[in-house]
Amino acid sequence: MSGVRVLELGSFIAGPFAGQLLADYGAEVIKIEPPTGGDPMRRWGVVQDGQSLWWPAIARNKKSVALDLRDPDGQAVLRALAARCDVVLENFRPGTLDAWGLGYQTLADINPGIIVVHVSGLGQTGPRSREAGFGSIGEAMGGIRFTTGDAGSRPARTGISLGDSLAALFAVVGTSTALVERAASGRGQEVDVAIYEAVAALMESTMVDYERAGTLRTRTGSVLPGVAPSNVYRTADGADIAIAGNADAVYRRLCDAMGRPELATDPRFDDHEARGRNSAVLDEEIERWTTSLPAPDLLRILADNGVPAGKIYTAADMVTDAHYAARQMVLRPETAGGTAGPMAGIVPKFSRTPGEVSAVGPRLGEHTRAVLDELAGVDGKAWDDLLQRGIVAQ
């Protein structure tokens, strides 16, 4: 995406994670932040020395411009910047940009090729579009909270901000698609990403299962109902191992690995439907075997027999895993202040144009003066005036 210039507006995760990905792929991402305090993500989560440990990653490869978008003069500067950009990426509540004189039509009048990517909880249209909508609400409305957790438990969170991240991924897909279309038409457009829709798009056949068959998919913990064996099993050294041996051929290989070939022809388990009906009994047989072996030995045996399996990783496993390291999925960039990270690597891997992390999250306003001088013609007395009035910071 070298040559694509993105203005990132907004804060926290959904918009900024999309900006991170675009920057990973080579886009020039100019992050607009309030002059006072900046993006709250700078202080969110685990904080050391006054800065979030996440900030160096989610703001990597970006330029920080501290600009007050609530001030008319700040809005005028933003319009000047948008005239020189390809994409505006924002995650404010719908209607906010219009109220600031920064809506799509205004920007398109200045720059007909501009692509404005909106990320919001409930979308730009519809009866609830103007409501506040965080990722948790999108996860609830999108259906994934209802299917997450143990049977009989309350709906659970997955442990990460999944709705925000899914919306960011769809924002990147939408941005890329709009750029491809613009190459043919020469025209920009709006891309409308709703967090609840990003979640709902991943909910497989849940809606049709309910409406056509009366089947309501709900919480089942670590098992996939009717599909066995596919569960998490304890090992002799206390680890948890996921084993997916539900295909007939794989199940036979699992039985051989266990030294229990007779289980492959046992009428309780000899085909997909039978294993689904008797999954609890089969899981007991498998865990009797897994608890007799430490995780390294168990994983080696399963791999040798072609049975998909993997340890349930913690962060401690991820940062020390040889496969993660070989695939450059744990990055520790060198900075002027030392080593940053570890942070996740770039996904996906490109054979000819790989992404890179050339810089970690910048300090607030680090690039304000240079960017406004180059792209908006703000220098000299104009710069001094904006700085004195607190509309910009450096």
Region 127-156: mean pLDDT is 96
pLDDT score of 336 more than 90: no
Rounded (10°) CA dihedral 343, 15, 388, 96: -160
Task: Exactly one of 24, 39, 68, 164 is catalytic; name it.
Answer: 164
Mean pLDDT value across residues 152-174:
97
Tokens of 110: 């200045």
Is position 256 annotated as part of the catalytic site? no
Residue 76 has pLDDT above 90, yes or no: yes
pTM for the full predicted model: 0.95
Across 155-161, average pLDDT? 96
Phi then psi for residue 14, to 5 deg, are -60, -50
Domain ranges of the chain: 5-201+329-393, 230-311
Q: Across residues 321-327, what is the average pLDDT?
A: 98
CATH T-level assignment (fold) for domain 230-311: formyl-coa transferase, domain 3 (3.30.1540)
pLDDT band at 338 (very low <50, low <70, confident <90, very high): confident
- Asked if residue 145 has pLDDT above 90, the reply is yes
The fold of the 5-201+329-393 domain, in CATH, is Rossmann fold (3.40.50)
Distance of alpha carbon 365 from alpha carbon 248, whole angstroms: 59
Which residues neighbour 199 within 8 Å (Cβ) at sequence distance 6 or greater? 138, 139, 141, 142, 143, 144, 162, 163, 166
What average pLDDT score do residues 302-319 get? 98
Residues 269 and 274: their CA atoms lie apart, in Å, by 5
